[in-house]
Structure 1
């Protein structure tokens, strides 16, 4: 559970936003160059999307409005936490920043943990690692919804394999000098329009240069991995700081978002 109150969270958000704007100005030409890539327009119509270094799948029945809330708040928290805590040694601080920014935008955190990930197999792929983590989080969702979220996660990753442009966009944001950092999320909306989001994050470090992230096989002994597990909820009535998130993301939108559809 987040220990900040709303006033503290609002101040934290504002301070992070100011720092991010300054950093973005310095990095602007590099980030803007990515926006030249022509990708499908993001209209909140499909049931899966890339949002920075995050992959999200939506359970059938989610409104376009709630999809937009998820994507804008997640993408802002993801990009801001990376800009503010980019170093390999800052992975815990980055994860905490990501969660605090989600809280500042109105999400309620019900469970979270950041720990080292131990593989049970000698060979692994990061898509299977991410699914393993998301399955664990989704298992905490009551009733049949937990199982449905697991199915959505699997279909989302399977569909991504067939979307090379989406994979390229995702890897631009996920790859880092020492490895990669990314998230996989699945969301549902209940009859009262409250959204539940199960988030699995993966941080891995390598001793060699890395250009591919998710559909590549590694020896588990060669990769140092960490996992983040978190469960959040939000209702539109509790949404905060949306306008600030949108304004910050507007110039980056084509370089951050891309929709696709699980089949």
Structure 2
């Protein structure tokens, strides 16, 4: 075997071993913390909307909303929802404080990698608004649009449309908004994400992720679809491209078990028609 190829294979094996160990360590810490604080009650209002219906093309998944391009399989939708929700919830659980927002974002990305996702681009920076008034949903879409710009061909414009339609449809689903805000709310602020996904002819999934974390002393209890004064908030943004094929998926059973142990409604599906 070519020495360079052999070295590359060995390096990736080491990375997978390290990633698996990182996942196991985080899972152990999350389970220990869950035992101390106890599981929360389920959000009762969630029962009024379809739950876990993978044929629909948009979903709340914990503190994020995702839109799926038409044609994605139900299996790939479940992979996206389970892995993203676990990485998001676990990283919040492990790094809850305002000062830990960078560490939280890095934890989220490492957990995604440990579950089989390949990251092609990822950055976490301060977000500067160009307007005096803003809404967090528009900021999230702006972040997604910027992240999508790194994709080639028609995929960029297609995923922008998916993200736009998903957020627009979310406005008409008050229970879905309530569920997302339930998971996104934090002390003196919030953190949430907007994602758009597509599946290619080989069943590989590409996901563009835009996340934001804001801190505010304004005391607004609503997160989405309300106007903020940009002087009242400090915003940081995360941008990333991920891809995965089902054959590369790891740690799925552990993700599902942990999410089930939370005894909370995590997912809520709707249609961006």
* TM-score, normalised with respect to structure 1: 0.95
Contact 2:189 2:216 in 1 (8 A): yes
Within a 5 Å distance, the mapping from 1:99-248 to structure 2 comes to 99-248=109-258
Query: What is the Cα deviation at residue 35 of structure 1?
Result: 5.8
2 CA distance for matches of 1:164 and 1:10? 38
Change (3 A) 1:34 1:64: same
Which structure has the larger Rg? 2
d(CA) in 1 for partners of 2:54 and 2:89?
Answer: 20
Listed one character per residue, the Cα deviations across residues 178-219 of structure 1 (whole Å, up to 9, x for unaligned) are 200001000000000000000000000001323211111011
Does residue 24 (structure 1) correspond to residue 30 (structure 2)? The answer is no
In structure 2, stretches of 5+ residues that fail to align are 1-11
Query: What's the C-alpha RMSD, in Å, of the aligned pairs?
Result: 1.5
Q: Is the 8 A contact 2:46 2:175 kept in 1?
A: no
CA contact (8 A) 1:138 1:198 kept: yes
Contact residue 42 and residue 264 of structure 2 kept, 8 A: no
Distance 1:61 1:55, change over 3 A: same
Q: Deviations over 1:88-143 (max 9, x none)?
A: 10000000000000000000000011000000111100111000000111121211
- Contact 1:158-1:262 within 8 A present in 2 as well: yes
Match in the other structure for 1:66? 76
Within the candidate set 21, 28, 40, 1:11 is matched to: 21
Contact kept, 8 Å, 2:188 with 2:215, in 1: the verdict is yes
CA distance in 1, matches of 2:79, 2:35: 25
Within 1, Cα distance between the matches of 2:229 and 2:218? 13
- Which moved further from structure 2: 208-217 or 6-15? 208-217
Q: Give the Cα separation in 2 of the matches to 1:35 and 1:16.
A: 29
- Whether the aligned pair in 2 keeps the contact of 1:59 and 1:186 (CA below 8 Å) is yes
Q: How far off is 1:41 after superposition? A: 2.0
Alpha-carbon distance between aligned partners in 2 of 1:143 and 1:72, rounded to the nearest angstrom:
28
Number of residue pairs aligned between Structure 1 and Structure 2: 260
Alignment partner of 1:32: what SS?
coil
TM-score normalised by structure 2 residue count: 0.92
4+ aligned runs moved over 4 Å, structure 1: none
Give CA deviations for 1:129-170 in whole Å, capped at 9, x if unaligned.
000000111121211111010000000000000000000000
